[in-house]
Amino acid sequence: MTLKTHNRPETKTIQTFDIPESQVLTLSSGHQVHLSNPCKIGVVRVELFWASGSYHQEKPYVATMANDLLLSGNEQRTEFEVIEYLDYLGATHRTECGHVGSSVVIRASKKNILSVFKWVIENVHAATYPENEVESAKLVRAASLERQQKTPKYWSSRIALESLYGKDHTLGIHGDPIDYQKVTSENLNLFKKQHFGLEKMMLLVSGDSDDQLLHSFADALRPFPGTPLSIIQEQFTETFPKFEKPLMHPVDGTNQVNLHLAKHIKPKDQQERFGLTLLNLVLGGYFGSRLMQILREERGLTYGVGSYFKPAFNDYTWTISGDLKSETAEEAIRVVHEIFEDLKKNILPDDELNKIKQYYAGQFRGGFDGPFSMGGKYQHALYRGLDLSYYTTVLPGIWSVTAQEVNVLANNYLNPNSFIHVLSGDTPKQR
């Protein structure tokens, strides 16, 4: 049998990108609305967003539970009754709670979205966190955390962040299952009163919206006059912990270890951030990266490994994480350091640099696909104190980065001694 060959499709370089239509309005009720990419699809997505999260809590899990249980019932109706009516209207809903932002996200047909919206704000306002619902939620969450704490990956990530930021900072705080028992209905009601009032939120609206719908939202919110949001823009002092040997954390019942390297990083400007984004990609940010190709494909030292360059308030946390064979963990660390040194000594070949730029451009462009994508992009801009026009600068900035600039950044930032090293699982001390 002769296999038919096909010509490879022509590829297109994405050099620039115009963001979808988006604007910020103020309703007659005083609430801000981010309106993005209106389109006639028959479905509307509305996000009730508060500029509050775990950063504002006084003890672990209060913010998350206060957010998750906003629709858990009140003096008028049970959680079942609240959710049953949403199901009847064909709506979906979920909650999100981060460090400095929390949301209730609803989605429904345009015909039903106003009824869904009114029902949700009514029950959010009336939420009382019934004791039976709180106790049930605490048991479920504590059991889930207990399962997580049996995995090496959980402990290596936790210890790394605690070491970087301290156990008293929101980025370093990690509660334990017993901490759920300390959360009370009174705690949740107080947090809601302080942070999740309807007057303190903004709306992120996308999909099949129009002026009439926004006016109806304003009418529903009129008893709760809106106030401006204030996003925490906390700055950190960059730290360089002295690396001497990996921090060890044994985990019973496993024959492997998880390696976690982490550092706090503060790019000096936007161009440096673009360069670090590319450096992270070539290091471990996609399947063709150095870490994957050398540690996994060539040396067989890992089941999977990657690096991650993620925002932490106004700065970034840079991490490398991978599951390793216990007996070759120390060798894997040496290889990671060798990869650092190679990136510092040698300029990236043009074809490799262009490949990761193309990869990033495709991922970036894909992040704007769909009618509901801009809400998340707007949130990210809020958190970073950026204007939405920032997104039009990203791809030109990425394409402007040179191989020489990436090499300079590698020499400035890929110092093994500046990374926290953690090994958890079947650690050398256990064997």
Which is it for strands 420-425 and 302-312: parallel, antiparallel or unpaired? unpaired
Same domain, 215 and 251: no
Domains identified in the chain, total number: 2
For the entire predicted model, the pTM comes to 0.89
Same domain, 143 and 40: yes
Quick one: which H or E segment has residue 379? helix 374-384
In a domain, 7, yes or no: no
pLDDT of residue 112: 98
pLDDT of residue 431: 46
Same domain, 35 and 176: yes
Can you give the residue range of the structural domain that contains 272?
Answer: 247-430
In a domain, 68, yes or no: yes
In a domain, 161, yes or no: yes
In a domain, 26, yes or no: yes
Same domain, 46 and 183: yes
Looking up residue 356, the CATH number of its domain turns out to be 3.30.830.10
Same domain, 216 and 275: no
In a domain, 233, yes or no: no
Same domain, 426 and 324: yes
Report residue 392 CA to chain centroid gap: 21
In a domain, 235, yes or no: no
Yes or no: say if 32 and 229 are a contact pair by the CB < 8 Å rule.
Answer: yes
Same domain, 197 and 272: no
Report residue 184 CA to chain centroid gap: 27
pLDDT of residue 1: 45
pLDDT of residue 12: 65
DSSP 83-129: HHHHHHTT-EEEEEE-SS-EEEEEEEETTTHHHHHHHHHHHHHHB--
pLDDT of residue 251: 87
pLDDT of residue 397: 96
Same domain, 149 and 280: no
Same domain, 354 and 260: yes
In a domain, 226, yes or no: no
pLDDT of residue 241: 57
Same domain, 192 and 78: yes
Mean pLDDT by 10 residues, the chain (431 residues): 53 72 92 92 96 93 97 95 97 95 97 98 98 97 96 94 85 92 97 97 95 97 93 66 73 88 91 96 94 92 91 87 89 95 96 95 91 90 87 94 97 93 80 46
In a domain, 16, yes or no: no
